[in-house]
Amino acid sequence: MSTNRLTLNNHWISQLLSIPEKGMGYHLVKVFLKNGKVLPKHKVLNSSILILEPNENIAIEDIENIQPEK
């Protein structure tokens, strides 16, 4: 099983660095896409690598917002 990963740009990295991690070395986030779709419960490793599901194929330009999961 291969894992899709997306390296975040400095804008998103800065945003994630300003909020507490969910666990050691990762954030649990909701990713809001510009097309209106929301990707819930996604991990971001080291504030910079978004882990995607195998069927998800997005580009950095598709991201509207990233927020921490509650």
- Is the model's pLDDT at 4 over the cut of 60? yes
Per-residue confidence (pLDDT) for residue 70, from 0 to 100: 84
30-69 pLDDT, tens per residue?
A: 999 999 999 999 999 999 999 999 999 999 999 999 999 9
Distance CA 3, CA 64 (A): 22
Half-sphere exposure of 38 (CA within 13 A, CB side): 8
Per-residue confidence (pLDDT) for residue 39, from 0 to 100: 97
Q: Is 14 helix (H, G, I), strand (E, B) or coil?
A: helix
Q: What is the pTM of this model?
A: 0.91
